[in-house]
Amino acid sequence: MHKIFTRSLVSSLVFLFTLTVSAVAKDVKAAFVYIGPTGDHGWTYQHDVGRKAVEAAGYKTTYVEGVPESADAERVLRQLANSGYDIIFTTSFGYMNPTNKVAKEFPNVKFEHATGYKREHPNVSSYAARFYEGRAILGTIAGSMTKSNVIGYVASFPIPEVIRGINAFTLAAQKVNPNVKTKIVWAFTWYDPGKESEAAKALIDQGADIIAQHTDSTAIVQIAEKAGVYAFGQASDMDKFAPKAVLTSVENNWGPYYVDRVKAVANGTWSQKNTWHGIGDGMVVISDLDSAIPSDLKAKVKKLQADLASGKVHAFTGPIYDQKGDLMVAEGKTADDGMLAGMMTYVKGVEGDIPN
Amino acid sequence: MIIDIHFVGLVITSIMASAVPLILASCGELITERSGVLNLGVEGMMIIGAISGFALMTITGSLFIAVIGAMLGGVLISTIFAFLTQTLITNHVATGLALTIFGIGISAMIGKNFVGIPGKEFPILFESLKDTIPFLSPILFGHSIVFYFAFALPFFTNYFLKKTKIGLIVRAVGDSPDSASNQGINVKLVRYSCILYGGAMCGLAGGYLSMIYTPQWIENMTGGRGWIALALVVFSTWNPIKILIGAMIFGGLTIIQFHMQAMGVRIPVQFLTALPYIVTIVVLVIISRDSRKIRLSTPSSLGKSFYKDN
Amino acid sequence: MEEKLIKFIKRDQPSQAMFFLTPVLAILLTLITGGLIFYILGFKPFEALKFFFIVPIADMYGLSELFLKATPLCLIAIGLSFCFKSNNWNIGAEGQLTFGAIVSGGVALLFYNQEGFYILPIVILAGAIGGMLYASIPAILKTYFNTNEILVSLMLVYVSKLILDYLVVGPWSNPEGFNFPETRQFSESARLPILFEGLRIHAGIFLALAAVVASWFIFDKTYLGFQMKVSGFSLKTAKYAGYKGKKMIILVFLISGACAGLAGVGEIAGPIGQLHREVSPDYGFTAIIVAFLGRLHPVGIIFSSLIVAITYLGAETAQIFMQIPKYTGQVFQGMILFFLLASDYLLFFKIKFIGFKK
């Protein structure tokens, strides 16, 4: 009796388990919430590329674009959670509070929040990319290729992510060219082609012959093309917008991470994570190097890429001094993630002050 | 940083380029208002012009068609406004606002498939002369035809209003529609034409933004320039030449702000961005104080509906 | 000589029946045109309209979201009705909303780590005062300096948004927030209490309802309201009714500013609970549509705010389920107003059918 009971119990449990797993694995649906339009060819466009990768992997997806970071965001998230989506990706910092709030009410739905830091419930994860590693590569190229020793940088908002990018860029540029100067203009927008072109033009008029950007539209590379200077693409490969001007771009490659997380939900192995991946993990990709880059520089860049990927080189290796001359990172040491996450001071060699 | 004369020329050129859409839209709206119609839909007409031009440029590949298309887009949407306010005698303010909101929405809808497409290279004139004379050559040479047209427009407009018969009719309709009508002038027709002309100019202004200035399409790309154009008309006391000056001031404030940043000067960005709007208010107050002067310059029937039994 | 088939004859008085019918006609025409637009874009019209107008309010949560969205629209529109009826074109309600949010937000931040029942009323009052202060600028410039209120109030919208931007990115930004552009969260005492568990309707709705009742009372039952209505018809008639011109103008602007400011409080002390760089998706401008659609009448405004609110919700829902671009919401809003303004022609003109004559 005992044996039969145990055997039937075990087999029913196995049966139930297989049933559940197969049911879960079949129908996982993923939703994506975007702050901008999918056609922006920048931030949102790349997230959508990631979403398409999820679809290619066989899962159903939907997206909502242009969701403002206001009270509306909460409603959209709730609607998605209510409509049977198992995992929701919220792709902007400003969605942090609504994400956590809705996550509380839907413990069975997984939430992935980009570039944030609050994870108030076990079903909320954060993820971001080490864009600054890409910036280090851009800085190496810019420092080597500038003839006027003036590099222009169109920045968006004075937040750690942007400051980090500026610093990584400048440090790398200075390594190959100690005389280089980085001029920064704050556009106070992530996406405004009109403003971005005006900012770029001002930098070019002031002698910059290479322009880098931390804003999302293609206007800047187009202005660079017209003016005959070099530029770098941001978030996506912007080469087709400015074939002569764009030397390379730093691409946000979200696809593998997204597919990974959706699969984890399907397998039941999803757990809360705080992911910060860089070149090594494939989240940050450098586009093809333009033919204008001389072959020895190309080789140098490729080596740097490999070293950053393997961890041999860290973009923030001491000695690093800030603008005032104080030591930020000691010789031989590297900046830890905590310092990077809260970075709000310029390194030496960056001109100007951080606004506010 | 050495401030050399050539650099100043470059900055002035940037300011001029930034002023082009304002000049075009304001001169168009000026004619509309001179005939007594207040069209608050400038922003809507501009954005429709922007998408019309860009869409046609991408689809047909012909920049000529695209420019005409931008103007036609403005004309088409202003026809709705004209029909409502002139034939159905609706409230000008409400209709103009509806036009703006509708225009922004429909342009975004149409434009959805055109986001992220690079614009075509727009031909520029006198390119070979671009680097000849320091200071003057960047200002005078190397611009698109729309740019040159925009800087000629205020003078044409001024001549039209002051020295031509049709211009006189327009002003008569604006100042006293009843007596104009009594003299046999078809007030409705004149106003219709002026509204449509305003639409064409606003459409061209939008087309310039999407085809030449940036060049690309993104929803809401006019970014409030339409409202500034409206303010410019009053700011200039309905004088086209003053529109030129006002537009340069507006354009200038934006451009100079970026230059100062690039030079490392610490400035409060939001304050500088707000300055054009504050300056407009101040100027409006100053010119309105002299109520006699403003009464002389404002078309007397501005904003009032005209109805005639026939 | 051939006569026209139809002739439009001016009525002696605006038609009573049409007063109620034309909004209905406008909505119908909007639905039809909307369906056509969906069809042209390649979507199934009836399904799209369903997701637009029915699905968003199909459950309790959706219904509460409808009221949540309609609240600021209704509140601002009521305030605007005072201005528009008396021929004062306050286009800057969005700026008054923003400034009200700034002032009340600033006050709330002063109390960010304190609790107490007295905090919320102070915050609400601050919002109303902020809106009134901001609206007084175009009012004073109009009455004492003869300056056009349309342009002044409009320019001030941009100024207020830039002030908010500066404060949130700079001095008021959360010191513990990694310099991201948002302020601290307000304390629970400064938040508008939620009315029902699980729904987001908050006490702000009472402010809107109070405004509706107050405006109905003023317009229908007081001499002041009568003066306001009459001054909208012509200056001569107004002087005949004995109003003091300048005081009236300032008063209506203050009322409108207070309403917009209160709407601003609702936006930041309601579901959000902090200041962001943007606090309103252009409610101040959409409220103008709401005001006209509701014929500047309190009851009408209640209905029109619900209708316009659903265009917001519908645009979202249609996007989630059918990937219809979200700008259809604004297209509908513009269309409703166009059709209403157009159909108003029937208020003043009669259609008369005359047969062909030889």
- B225: in domain: yes
Instruction: Provide the CA A104 distance to its chain's centre, in angstroms.
Output: 26
Q: Which one of C178, C199, C283, C327 would you mutate to disrupt binding with A, by most A Cβ within 10 Å of its Cβ? A: C178
Do B14 and A41 count as a contact with CB atoms less than 8 A apart? no
CA atoms within 13 A on the CB side of A267: 9
User: In A195-279, at which residue ranges do the beta strands (DSSP E only) sit?
Assistant: 210-213, 230-235, 246-252, 274-277
Domain assignment of residue B307, yes or no: no
**Contact (CB<8Å) B221/A193:** yes
C127, C322 Cβ separation under 8 angstroms: no
**B186 pLDDT above the threshold of 70:** yes
Residue B93: give the domain boundaries: 5-297
Joined tokens for residue B174: 């604006």
Contact between C334 and B102 using a beta-carbon 8 Å cutoff: yes
Tell me how far apart the alpha carbons of residues A324 and A280 are, in angstroms, rounded to a whole number: 33
pLDDT at B114 over 90: no
Q: Least CB-CB distance to C151: which of B90, B97, B230?
A: B230
pLDDT tens for each residue of C44-94: 888 888 888 888 888 888 888 899 899 999 999 999 999 998 888 999 999
- What is the Cα–Cα distance from C211 to C77, expressed in whole angstroms? 10
| A192 → chain B, closest CA residue | B221
Residue ranges of chain C whose pLDDT lies below 50: 1-2, 358
Please identify every stretch of chain A with a pLDDT value under 70, giving residue numbers as ranges. Answer: 1-26, 356
C33–chain A nearest CA distance, Å: 24
Among A45, A152, A194, whose Cβ lies nearest the Cβ of B116? A45
A 10 A CB-CB count for C155 gives 28
Q: Measured between alpha carbons, how far is residue B265 from residues B257, B260, B308, C100 in Å?
A: 9, 5, 60, 33
Task: Output the six-digit token pair for A42.
Answer: 């920048």
pLDDT reported for residue C330: 85
Mean pLDDT over B293-303 rounds to 60
Overall number of domains in chain B: 1
Is residue B303 domain-resident?
Answer: no
Q: Is residue B105 part of a domain?
A: yes
The residues pairing with C352 across neighbouring beta strands, listed in sequence order, are: C7
pLDDT digits (tens, 9 = 90+) for B227-284: 889 888 877 888 899 999 999 988 888 788 888 888 877 777 778 778 878 888 888 7
Q: Report the C-alpha gap between B167 and B240 in whole angstroms.
A: 13
Does residue B213 belong to any structural domain of this protein? yes
pLDDT for A17 equals 57
Confidence (pLDDT) at B291: 60
State the pTM of this model. 0.86
| Binding-site residues on chain C for chain B (CB distance < 8 A) | 10, 37, 41, 89, 91, 141, 145-148, 150-152, 154-156, 158-159, 162-163, 165-166, 169, 285-286, 288-289, 292, 325, 327-335, 337-338, 341-342, 344-345, 348
B26 falls within a domain: yes
Contacting residues of B for A240, CB less than 8 Å apart? 118
ipTM of the complex: 0.83
What's the pLDDT at C23?
81
CATH number of the domain that residue B260 is part of: 1.10.3470
Phi, psi dihedral angles at A249 (to 5 degrees): -135, 155
Cβ of residue B284 closer than 8 Å to a chain C Cβ: yes
Residue A112 confidence (pLDDT): 95
> Which stretch of DSSP H or E encloses residue A31?
strand A29-33
In a domain, B32, yes or no: yes
Three-state secondary structure call for residue A68 = coil
Assigned domain for B305 exists: no
Q: Report the sign of the C-alpha dihedral through residues C276, C278, C280, C281, in that order.
A: negative
Mutant choice from B90, B230, B275, B305 vs C, greatest count of C C-beta within 10 A: B90
The reported pLDDT for the residue numbered B296 is 55
Contact A252, A283 (CB under 8 A): yes
- Provide the pLDDT for residue C220: 82
Supply the mean pLDDT for chain C.
85
Q: How far is CA C39 from CA C45, C47, C55, in A?
A: 5, 10, 19
